[in-house]
Amino acid sequence: MNVAAILKGKGRAVATARPETTLQAVTEKLTAKRIGALVIVGSSGQVAGIISERDIIRAIAENGAECLQRPVSEFMTREVVICSEADTLEELMAIMTAGRFRHIPVVADGALVGIVSIGDVVKHHIAEVEMEASALRTYLLAG
Ligand code: AMP
């Protein structure tokens, strides 16, 4: 299973915000969409950063709630690890585990075309394991 197959199931919509968006507006968007991260995009749609609920908790802990009125660009992660549609589920699991993050934007020809979360990865991994178990059971019963 690769990223293209995952996107086929979940769609290509990505929740984004511009760097000048306040942290308050970001928290509202995350809450409204029931998600854990937004990709921050520049004027031509390029990936400029990522902000997750963890960054917001850290920002409040370090700066107090006043930071919610400041732009997200001050708190986002700028070095974003991205993946391509050809990357496999196993590669994504390894990247998320090594980097200790739960979201990977998908980029094709420099454009943002999707996002894969740890939830998507776990869901597809369980489906793969179940299919494998079922195939093994069929094989054993046939023997
Ligand atoms: P998350 O597990 O997605 O809530 O993110 C944990 C931390 O990793 C936060 O500081 C995020 O800004 C950062 N992060 C999330 N996704 C990525 C990514 N794809 N590349 C780099 N950093 C990320």
Instruction: State pLDDT tens for residues 84-124.
Output: 999 999 999 999 999 999 999 999 999 999 999 999 999 99
Locate the ligand 1 atom nearest the alpha carbon of residue 36 and give its number.
4
Instruction: Report how far ligand 1's centroid is from the alpha carbon of 110 (Å).
Output: 20
* Burial status of residue 43 (CB atoms within 10 A of its CB: 0-12, 13-18, 19 or more): exposed
Confidence class for position 143, pLDDT limits 50, 70, 90:
confident
Cα of 50 from ligand 1 centre, angstroms? 7
Which of 30-39, 108-117, 134-143 has the lowest average pLDDT? 134-143
For the stretch 42-93, pLDDT in tens is 999 999 999 999 999 999 999 999 999 999 999 999 999 999 999 999 999 9
Question: Which of 50, 72, 78, 93 to probe ligand 1 with, by most ligand atoms within 8 A of CB?
Answer: 50
What are the pocket residues of ligand 1 if the criterion is a CB atom closer than 6 Å to any ligand atom?
Answer: 36-37, 50-55, 77, 80-81, 101-104
One-letter amino acid at 104 equals I
Cβ 119 vs Cβ 6: under 8 Å: no
Residue-range domains of the chain with CATH: 3-142 (3.10.580.10)
In this prediction, residue 127 carries a pLDDT of: 87
